[in-house]
Every structure is written in C-alpha cells, then in structure tokens.
Structure 1
Amino acid sequence: MSDRPHLWMRHEARPTERRAPLVPEDAATLVRQGVRITVEDSDQRAFPLADYAAAGCATAPAGSWTGAPGDAYVLGLKELPDGPAALHHRHIYFAHAYKGQAGADALLGRFTAGGGALLDLEYLTDDDGRRVAAFGYWAGYIGAALAVLHRRGRLTAPLVPTARPALDALLAADAADDDTRALVVGALGRSGRGACDALERAGLDPTRWDVAETRDLDRPALLAHDLMVNTVLTVRPVPPFLTPADLDEPARRLSLVSDVTCDVTSECNVLPVYDETTTWADPVRALRGGPAPLDLIAIDNLPSLLPVEASRAFSAELAPHLARLTDAAAPVEGWDPVWARALRLFETATAPLEEATRVR
C-alpha cells in the first residue's frame, strides 16, 4: 500500500460557497508527487471540474464522499450536510466546533458515532501556534469593502462573486468625497491587514487597534468612529468590545459594524450584540433604528465573494501540508506535527462524548 494520502475534495453543501481548498494548479503538483486526488463535480465551484481532470485528478459525482474509500481524507471548506448521522472518514474543513458554538456537540457526536475524525483547518498550526493556511486576508478585505460600499449607498443585494479589479474600482469611485472615520480592531493580523488595505483603497486612513489597544479598551473612542471592522479571533472568552448598552449610548457616533470574525453563538464572541449572521441575500441588518441607526454586516464566508483570488492564496499555503499527510489507514505515529496537533485537539474535544457513551 502506498503511504501517500488519498484526498477526496467534496462539493460544498452551502449554495453560496464558490471557493475550493485546493485549486487545479496545486492539485497537479500533488498528483506529480504521488498524492491520489478525487474531485467531486460542483456546479458552483469557481474552478471547472475539467481543469482538475487535466491536472490528473479522478472525478466523482457531487455528494459521493459518503461512499468514498475508507482511506480517503474528505477535504472541504464549510459545513457538512446534516447526514449521514455517523461520519466514518477523516474530514478536513472549517468545522467551528471547538468554542461552544451551537450544534458543536451534535457534530462531534457524528464523528464519534462513525469512528471518523476531524482535522479542522482553523487549527492547523505551526510550532509557534500560527495558522499555516488561512483565508483571513481576503475575509478582512471584503468585510471592509462591503462596509464602505454600504455607507456610500453602493451595496446591492443579493451579493454576487466578483474579481478584485472590479471590486477595487468600486472602492476607488467615491474616495475623494468620503470622510468616514474607520476603525479596524485586530489590525496587525491577516484579516486586519486585509481590512486596512481595502479601506486605504477606498481613500480612508483607518485607526488601527490591536492587542495593546484592546487590553484596556477605550470605549468612548471606539464609539466615536463611524465604522468598525472587527477582525479579532480569540480562543478564550475576553471582555466584549461592544455590548447592548453601548448601542444605546447617546454619544455614540458608530453607525456600522462589519464583523469579519463572526463568532456568534460562541462564548468567545467579542461582539455579543447580535445572535445571527447576515447573508448574501440580506447582507445588512439594523441593530438600532431611529435617529441614531447602527447597521451590522456579519457574513461568515466573505472570501467566497472573491473566490478565485482567495482560493489560490489559501491553496498555495495548504497544499504543501496536504503532501505531508500519510495514508489514512496508516498509524498516526510519526505524523507531521501540524496534522498531529489537529488530531490531538479533536481527540481532546471528543473525549467527554466518548466517556458519556461508555457510561450509558
């Protein structure tokens, strides 16, 4: 048996997901290295199936991952469909299941029921704890861009995917006449840098806050901005940046929040002023109306609005680590540390569920 992995890239169940975790060019490189790759057909992916076939990948119908060989790693991005109830494979995707999110226990229970495992893309980290592959830059860029377009009355719904030149042209169109006071929280991270770049493209000079500024938050200064872009991702509860009381503060100037992080329903949410994300169909929600309105943009798959650029950047970072996976049927001893850490995290998260099953 080859020690090279078998990757099975699934069709995304979410209708608005256009990205791919692995693009055809990087798939071709992996195939040349001996990695077996199967790609499901998808009528929404930004990259045609024919391009993967030309790269040497096998192809399969959409949704056929449930019957994939047991040694396959099922690769995706966003949430799995509701079935099957028991997950038998090792899955690689953004599961959002480790911070107390709604439905997390049910999802992890599906893995324990089927003997599968989750290798969460959000928790693939190097020895210093830094994520090895992320969509953060593009999430921040688009989150800030949508906020600017909304303030200028140029945001139309439903949102549709585009390319960066077209988006940048929209941002530059009214730059000379915009005096928006913008704040980026988490400005030194990937998402924060993307948000700052988009705001600068729009002719704005944003205030940049990071750990030092949020450790002792100047709430009146935050509320004195017109627009806030939140890009902070935390793995432990911290004091919130905004509370419902802040929204009713008479001196509040803040009129628009773009929450790139979207940690809604998590105990780590730094913006506990809303309980549901917004969508491509309805990208903006009013948190307050009347003479001092405050709107929210909180879309949890922002990079899919620039699917080609975002996918290529992410795939370039992820592909070298995919090449270091071993056959899923092989022992995990000696695994690449990036994958070993992700597996240990899954095992830690599911240990209470397995114990509860044994007790019953």
Structure 2
Amino acid sequence: MLTIGLIKEGKIPADNRVALTPAQCKWIQQHFPHVKIIVQQCDHRCFTNKEYERAGISLLQDVSDCDILLGIKEVPVEQLIADKTYLFFSHTKKLQPNNQQLFKTIINKKITLIDYECLEHDDGQRIIGFGFFAGVVGAHNGMMAYGNRTGYFKLGRVFESKDYRQLIHTYFGVRLPNVKVAVTGSGRVAHGVVEVMNLMGVTEVEPDEYLEKKFTYPVYVLLKGADLYTHRESKTYGRNDFHQYPEMYRSRFLPYTRCTDILMNGVYWSEHAPRLFEVNDIDDSFSIETIADITDDLNGSVPINLGDQSITDPVYGVDRITHKKTAPYLKSSIDVMAVGNLPNELPRDASRYFGEQLIKFVLEDLIKGGSAIIDKATLVKKGQITTTYLYMKEYGGL
C-alpha cells in the first residue's frame, strides 16, 4: 500500500490552496486501490476537514507514516520529516537566498524533493501550476486598481466572490473607458489575463495597430516572446535560445510604454534576462499608470516592483521621480499590483484545476515510482543533488 499525505501548510501567512480536492482524493482511491490518501488536519484550507471526511478520506494530525507528502508552498524547515519524498513549490532553483536554509535542510535530512515548478513536458512547457488563476486574479486586480485610480469604474475584490463563476457575473454592466492594455507572456498567466480581458469586453488588436492607432473602445495587445525580445546581433528571436542565453537579448517593449495605460505582466524572468524597461525610461513620455506584475519578481522584468503586498492590500505607488514606494493612486506615482499568492483569492477553483493536471500528467508515474518527467523535476534524491541541478551544490552547502 502506497500512502500519500496532504500536508498542512506551515508557511506564514498560511496558504489555503490544496494539491488535491476531496472529490479528487476520492477518485484516486477508487481507481488506485493500492493507494491510500491521508489528509493532515487543518482549519484554514479552502476545503474543510469535514469535506474530506465526507469523501471518505482519513484525517490525521501526524502524517509521518506517509510515503509521499504533497504541499503547496515551502515547508518550514522544522516541519520537514527526514527520509520522505515531498512535492511542493520550493522556490530554490534560482538560488533564492531566503530559501537556502530550506534546501540545505532537505539535503541534511536525506529528503527527496520533486518541485512542481520543474515538472515539464518535452517542449519545456510547465505541466502543472496555478498560473491561469494567477492571471485571472491579477488581471482583475490590475483593472480594479486602474478604476480606483481614475474613478471611471468600480470593481469589487475577487475574494468577495464565492467562486470564478460568480466573479464573472460581477463584470456584467461594467463600462470601461477607451483604455489600452498591454499583456505580456504566452503561458498560463497570460491565458488567464486574456480570459478576463475578453469577459470585460476588451478587444484584442495587433501590435502594429496598438502602437499606431487611437481607439474609441478599450483594447489589449498580447505580446509574446518575439514581440518582446530580439537577439542583440542576429536581430531574431528563438525561444530555446532565449531561455539558454537570455543575456544575448534586448527588450523591444519600450515603444509600448508610450501608448499603454495598463501593463499586465505575465512573462517568465531570470536574472540575466532583459527587463521590459529600465527605471530611467520613466520620463514624460511614459504613459503607463497601472502595472499588474503578476509574475511578481522583485526588481525583475518590471524594475519598479519594490516587493510583495498582501491580498488585503495589493497595490502601492512608485514615485515617478524618486522611484520610492508611496501610497497608491497618487498623480505623481505609478501604481503597482504585486502579490505572490494571487490564486488564494479563488482557492477552490485554483486547487481543482491544479489537482486535475496533477492526476492527468503526474500521479500515475509517481505511483509507479518515477519517470523521465519526474526525474527531471527531482532537485534532490535521498539527500543528493541530482545531475541536472549540480549548479546548486554551493547553495546547498556542499
């Protein structure tokens, strides 16, 4: 019998999402009789203990007898159980300083770490994640911030809606001004943003039209890799080449800063990749008033991302001259929406979507004991850094 445990989220503030919903746990136990799922008791999940109990799932306080442990966010080091296999978002593969001790402890406790972020199809596309609902919530919050700033329209908070279906109904009757929105990215985040743009009645236009024309209705442009970056020498764009040698590319986004009202940023960023613009590009011609930095990298693709806000207080201002943080909605500032756990505003929908991808593409291989996809996503195996991630040895204290 293989035992899979859903662990209680220990990171503060506590995340309310889950890797598997009660219905999904029930389905797994029905279709894989040799698999038993244990849920660690928790009072702050978006699905209650009783909902799991009604689905026939066992609840325990102690999950140390489980073979595989599924979480969402980083596990606090004092809660890590030695010699176990964990799946969660560790946020370590970029050598993030704040999670270095977590990575060292995983090695010291001879843990096997499979990172959701590293589960990829053969073409490099991420298999599972919360990106779509991050895009939905981020787009809503970006539009909400612009409405609050200008007074042209009013949107409520996402978490005030019971679910995504109810959220959609809040868009009926919202009349937007002739706003121009630039959406960056080609992954799940961008798909979520585009979904909200369409639901709000914002019309998609081509990049050349967006740059050259004025419109009498709200429009958005979707800018993917080739629209955003070009090789410094060959003046071309190749997706694989860009991800391998991002320092060889420069940004093509600057013309959009002069005709855009709202930027919805959904691009993946690494420290060697070009930013969409630089701080010194913010001058009198810089027309962007609101930025929803959904991918949320501190000083990343959006250089005036000055750090995370909370779900309850998602927006701050950045002064156009001093580039210091201010209160939101000041005429002298650009508003930035930057929140690291956006899907928590629609946790039940986001968890259901996440669990579906986990079941479709990962679960069976995980139960069988592995696959090429799982191996590639395994940062540490029984305390040993795997070949793909040997660049992390110094980070892991080895």
Further displaced range: 249-258 or 275-284? 275-284
Specify which of 295, 310, 326 is matched with residue 261 of structure 1.
Answer: 295
Specify which of 336, 342, 348 is matched with residue 296 of structure 1.
Answer: 336
Structure 1 residue 160: Cα displacement: 5.1
Q: Conserved in 2, the CA contact under 8 Å of 1:35 and 1:323?
A: no
Q: Deviation per CA, 1:227-269, whole angstroms, max 9, x where unpaired?
A: 01111114562110132223x311111011111112327xxx3
1:147 aligns to what?
Answer: 142
Q: Conserved in 1, the CA contact under 8 Å of 2:184 and 2:224?
A: yes
Alpha-carbon distance between aligned partners in 1 of 2:82 and 2:318, rounded to the nearest angstrom = 38
Alpha-carbon distance between aligned partners in 2 of 1:257 and 1:43, rounded to the nearest angstrom = 34
1:274 aligns to what?
Answer: 305
Further displaced range: 233-242 or 313-322? 233-242
1:198 aligns to what?
Answer: 196
1:221 aligns to what?
Answer: 256
Further displaced range: 218-227 or 298-307? 218-227
After TM superposition, list the pairs within 5 Å mapping 1:286-325 onto structure 2: 286-288=317-319, 291-320=331-360, 321-325=362-366
Q: Deviation per CA, 1:175-213, whole angstroms, max 9, x where unpaired?
A: 2x4222111001x32111110110221222211100111
2:91 aligns to what?
Answer: 96
Q: Residue 173 of structure 2 aligns to which amino acid in structure 1?
A: A
Residue 354 to residue 229, structure 1, CA distance change in 2 (3 Å): closer
Alpha-carbon distance between aligned partners in 2 of 1:240 and 1:221, rounded to the nearest angstrom = 13
Structure 1 residue matching 2:78: 3-state secondary structure: coil
Q: Residue 29 of structure 2 aligns to which amino acid in structure 1?
A: V
Runs of 4+ in structure 1 over 6 Å off: none
Q: Conserved in 2, the CA contact under 8 Å of 1:148 and 1:202?
A: no
Q: Conserved in 1, the CA contact under 8 Å of 2:140 and 2:158?
A: no
Alpha-carbon distance between aligned partners in 2 of 1:7 and 1:190, rounded to the nearest angstrom = 27
Alpha-carbon distance between aligned partners in 2 of 1:309 and 1:189, rounded to the nearest angstrom = 18
Residue 157 to residue 325, structure 1, CA distance change in 2 (3 Å): closer
Residue 46 to residue 235, structure 1, CA distance change in 2 (3 Å): same
Q: Conserved in 2, the CA contact under 8 Å of 1:19 and 1:310?
A: yes
Specify which of 270, 273, 283 is matched with residue 314 of structure 2.
Answer: 283
Alpha-carbon distance between aligned partners in 2 of 1:296 and 1:127, rounded to the nearest angstrom = 35
Residue 271 to residue 233, structure 1, CA distance change in 2 (3 Å): same
Structure 1 residue 344: Cα displacement: 5.2
Residue 161 to residue 171, structure 1, CA distance change in 2 (3 Å): closer
Q: Conserved in 1, the CA contact under 8 Å of 2:158 and 2:346?
A: no
Superposed CA RMSD in Å reads 2.6
Corresponding position: 1:72 with 2:111: no
- Unaligned segments of structure 2, at least 5 residues: 149-153, 204-219, 231-251, 321-329
Q: Conserved in 1, the CA contact under 8 Å of 2:263 and 2:292?
A: yes
Specify which of 97, 102, 106 is matched with residue 101 of structure 2.
Answer: 106
Structure 2 residue matching 1:324: 3-state secondary structure: helix
Alpha-carbon distance between aligned partners in 1 of 2:79 and 2:58, rounded to the nearest angstrom = 24
Percent identity over the alignment?
23
Further displaced range: 195-204 or 13-22? 13-22
1:209 aligns to what?
Answer: 223
Corresponding position: 1:178 with 2:219: no
Alpha-carbon distance between aligned partners in 2 of 1:355 and 1:212, rounded to the nearest angstrom = 36
1:8 aligns to what?
Answer: 5
Structure 1 residue 82: Cα displacement: 4.5
Structure 1 residue 23: Cα displacement: 0.9
Q: Residue 325 of structure 1 aligns to which amino acid in structure 2?
A: L
Give me the TM-score of the superposition, normalised by structure 2. 0.77
Q: Residue 298 of structure 1 aligns to which amino acid in structure 2?
A: A
May I ask how many residue pairs the two structures share in their alignment?
337
Q: Residue 267 of structure 2 aligns to which amino acid in structure 1?
A: V
Alpha-carbon distance between aligned partners in 1 of 2:48 and 2:303, rounded to the nearest angstrom = 40
Give me the TM-score of the superposition, normalised by structure 1. 0.85
1:343 aligns to what?
Answer: 378
Q: Conserved in 2, the CA contact under 8 Å of 1:6 and 1:36?
A: yes
2:17 aligns to what?
Answer: 19
Corresponding position: 1:36 with 2:36: yes
Residue 87 to residue 143, structure 1, CA distance change in 2 (3 Å): farther
Residue 209 to residue 95, structure 1, CA distance change in 2 (3 Å): same
- Unaligned segments of structure 1, at least 5 residues: none
Alpha-carbon distance between aligned partners in 2 of 1:131 and 1:343, rounded to the nearest angstrom = 14
1:164 aligns to what?
Answer: 164
User: Whose relative contact order is higher, 1 or 2, with alpha carbons under 8 Å and at least 6 apart?
Assistant: 1
Structure 2 residue matching 1:152: 3-state secondary structure: helix
Structure 1 residue 22: Cα displacement: 0.5
Q: Conserved in 1, the CA contact under 8 Å of 2:18 and 2:71?
A: yes
